[in-house]
Structure 1
Amino acid sequence: MNTTETIYPILSGKRALVVGVANEHSIAWGCALAFRKLGAEVVLTYLNEKALPHVAPLAQEIDAQLLPLDVTIPGQMEALFAKVAEGGKLDTMVHSIAFAPKADLQGGLLDCSLDGFLQAMDISCHSFVRMAKLAVPLMTEGGSMFAMSYHGAEKVVPNYNVMGPVKAALEACCRYLAYELGHRGIRVHAISPGPLQTRAASGLKDFELLLRDAATRAPVGELVDILDVGNTCAYLASQFAHRLTGSTVYVDGGLNIIA
């Protein structure tokens, strides 16, 4: 199937900003594909010139506008949203970025440096709040926002380390933003996928063991993929979910229910 072919136009006339595509294995790419296949216009971002050759062909594949965004560079987020505003309203925003310095990520929480903790919190959590503030004026007809979390935000997952507290904060931000933005018709969800083989996940110690364990223990008996996550976000962005907000939605084959 051509990736620009609309299979069911429930998002026709909608416009989605998807942040965090690094390559074809990214969760953000699964979201972009799902939105496009359901009729939405998509705007993608790329981190820097090094990432551009990997993201540009994907943007071309789905006829997406492609803009730069490094949330650590002052003014670049504002410039992004100014460009997005030139195209009109925005209906959906996906935040799928996370980072912690390798030494802080692979060491225990007790040994995490202050600088590492703050950097992880800024990029992985507070950037979503900043992004939401800039998106709100463009969501003139209401909309939806999504941030990517993980089960390590709720339960201790060995080797997830500093990202556990950071993702817990991100989930709390989603709930508070859902409360603050509900009267504007803007819905906010944290999405919690099961383990996926992405570039970001490769930085976790013993991640291959986590993947094998998930496939074995999940009630459906297999891992989820990026399109499972994308399709969930697309449903939540549609009119079929217009009264759902503030949830942490697990897309993990039921793994989270297993003790």
Structure 2
Amino acid sequence: MTQHLPLAGKKGLIVGIANQHSIAYGCARTIRQLGAELAITYLNSKAEPHVRPLAEELDATLTLPLDVEQPGQLDRVFAAIREQWGGLDFVIHSIAYCPMEDLHGRVTDCSLSGFSQAMRVSCYSFIEMARLAEPLMPNGGTLVTMSYHGAEKVVEHYNIMGPVKAALESTARYLASELGNQGIRVHAVSPGPLKTRAASGIAHFDKLIDDAIERAPQNRLVDIDDVGQTVAFLVSDAARALTGETLYVDGGFHIMA
């Protein structure tokens, strides 16, 4: 990597790579190509064999386990980053979870435990990461999370994840307001439907795919590299005047009635 690369010298944490089709991997690949140094996490021992080769391909400085529901794991990740780098320039948060029975049911019927778990993993973990990243960003930085159009409009079969992602987008705006005077910028990125392992849990996902291709002005699906390019811009100095945004990367689908 040479110093003319736009992200050379920046160091960041990317959370949410499950395999080579993950949005988080698309972000990591693009950001690494542009010169940044990465810390990568994997969910558990089952996920590690799928993620570690990708981390090695990306020359990740740190490859660490992270299940945000396990007490202490997130603190250990940030402690390792502090020890290795002493600071941090960006965090990419690309994790979400909801129990299948609640994801496939009506919002009306969602269980308290299912809603709480979905909020814990998909939204509150972003708050935790912001809190832990703040002291590592004395000269500013960028926090980015992943949302979906179902946060703003009712998307059939997206169900309880719609309210959860709406909370996540609102959280990003409040974090942007609170951290802005420290030079920390916060964004939500809202990709169109992508063929990822996480998306496969949504009922009738193929219908969402077909609808996106038909209705989007560009008449195509976006891919993880499209998202990666957008996120790379957001963590770069070129986006220094932007914060608190929800940026759609969906070929224009969200503008259509």
Q: State the TM-score, normalizing by the size of structure 1.
A: 0.97
Displacement of 1:217 after TM fit?
Answer: 1.1
1:36 equivalent among 9, 19, 32: 32
2:231 equivalent among 230, 233, 258: 233
1:249 equivalent among 229, 247, 250: 247
> What residue is the counterpart of 2:119 in the other structure?
121
1:101-129 deviations in Å (ceiling 9; x for gaps): 00000011011100000000000000100
> What residue is the counterpart of 2:191 in the other structure?
193
1:69 equivalent among 44, 58, 66: 66
Displacement of 1:179 after TM fit?
Answer: 0.2
Secondary structure, counterpart of 1:87 in structure 2: helix
> What residue is the counterpart of 2:20 in the other structure?
24
**What is the rounded CA distance, in whole Å, between the counterparts of 2:120 and 2:151 in structure 1?**
16
**What is the rounded CA distance, in whole Å, between the counterparts of 1:7 and 1:201 in structure 2?**
37
Gaps of 5+ in 1: none
Gaps of 5+ in 2: none
**What is the rounded CA distance, in whole Å, between the counterparts of 2:24 and 2:4 in structure 1?**
20
**What is the rounded CA distance, in whole Å, between the counterparts of 1:249 and 1:135 in structure 2?**
22
**What is the rounded CA distance, in whole Å, between the counterparts of 2:201 and 2:234 in structure 1?**
29
Aligned pairs (5 A) from 1:215-226: 215-226=213-224
2:10 equivalent among 14, 28, 36: 14
Displacement of 1:244 after TM fit?
Answer: 0.2
* Runs of 4+, deviation exceeding 6 Å: 5-8
**What is the rounded CA distance, in whole Å, between the counterparts of 1:144 and 1:21 in structure 2?**
19
1:52 is aligned with what amino acid?
A: E
1:216-255 deviations in Å (ceiling 9; x for gaps): 1111111000011111011011111101000000000000
Residue 53, structure 1, aligned to residue 49, structure 2: yes
Displacement of 1:34 after TM fit?
Answer: 1.1
1:165 equivalent among 160, 163, 184: 163
Displacement of 1:6 after TM fit?
Answer: 6.8
Shift in alpha-carbon separation, 1:6–1:70, aligned structure 2, 3 A = farther
Is the CA contact 1:192–1:250 (under 8 Å) kept in the aligned structure 2?
yes
Identity of aligned residues (%): 60
> What residue is the counterpart of 2:76 in the other structure?
79
Displacement of 1:8 after TM fit?
Answer: 6.2
Q: State the TM-score, normalizing by the size of structure 2.
A: 0.97
Is the CA contact 1:146–1:188 (under 8 Å) kept in the aligned structure 2?
yes
**What is the rounded CA distance, in whole Å, between the counterparts of 2:140 and 2:38 in structure 1?**
17
Aligned pair count reads 255
Shift in alpha-carbon separation, 1:34–1:73, aligned structure 2, 3 A = same
**What is the rounded CA distance, in whole Å, between the counterparts of 1:243 and 1:181 in structure 2?**
14
**What is the rounded CA distance, in whole Å, between the counterparts of 1:204 and 1:134 in structure 2?**
31
Aligned pairs (5 A) from 1:109-188: 109-188=107-186
Secondary structure, counterpart of 2:128 in structure 1: helix
**What is the rounded CA distance, in whole Å, between the counterparts of 1:80 and 1:43 in structure 2?**
9
1:221 is aligned with what amino acid?
A: N
The root-mean-square deviation of aligned C-alpha atoms, in Å, is 1.1
**What is the rounded CA distance, in whole Å, between the counterparts of 1:204 and 1:109 in structure 2?**
14
Displacement of 1:7 after TM fit?
Answer: 11
Displacement of 1:215 after TM fit?
Answer: 1.1
**What is the rounded CA distance, in whole Å, between the counterparts of 1:219 and 1:253 in structure 2?**
6
Secondary structure, counterpart of 1:11 in structure 2: coil
